[in-house]
Amino acid sequence: MRKFDLFIDILKTYDIDVDDYAIYGSAPLVINGMIKDVNDLDIIIRPSKWPFDNGGEYRTGPIEFFDNWYGEDIDDLIDNHSFKYNGINFINPKKVLEYKEKLKRLKDRNIWEN
């Protein structure tokens, strides 16, 4: 089993409405076959629906929740730049690639150079 699938199963145990979050980071690239697996899930949650006691960021093992994302409008990302896969919102791979190319992190080099 891929870590991706295991992490999705864990994510589904959280009491967060599926329309209030989307998966960002590398996970959307797994769905379209650009990469084989992930080491974590980056979840963006609408700031108005943030369910955790602390603000802005909540990390629990391989799942990381954020109410912000590098100057992006979270509501716009979820409403206009996501797609549903197995009932969960994922950010469009094009937006993910734009983000990865902007950061130019060495760990993502094989992705943003293609």
Task: Read off the pLDDT of residues 75-97 as tens digits, 9 standing for 90 and up.
Answer: 999 999 999 999 999 999 999 88
pLDDT at 71: 86
Give the pLDDT of residue 113: 60
Residue 24: predicted pLDDT: 95
pLDDT score recorded for residue 94:
92
pLDDT the model gives residue 42: 96
Q: With bands split at pLDDT 50, 70 and 90, how would you rate the model's confidence at 98?
A: confident
| Model confidence, pTM | 0.89
**What would the pLDDT profile of 30-79 be if each residue is shown by its tens digit?**
998 989 999 999 999 999 999 999 888 999 999 999 999 888 999 999 99
How many CB atoms lie under 10 A from the CB of residue 87? 7
What are all long-range contacts of 99-107, with beta carbons under 8 Å and residues at least 24 apart? 99/24, 99/70, 102/70, 103/70
With 90 as the cut, is the pLDDT of residue 101 above it?
no
Question: What are the boundaries of each domain within the chain?
Answer: 3-112
pLDDT of residue 86: 92
Confirm if 63 and 49 have CB atoms less than 8 A apart. Answer: no
Q: How far is CA 49 from CA 15, 28, 44, 46, in A?
A: 11, 22, 11, 5
**Cβ neighbours around 108 below 10 Å, total:** 19
44: tokens are 């963006």
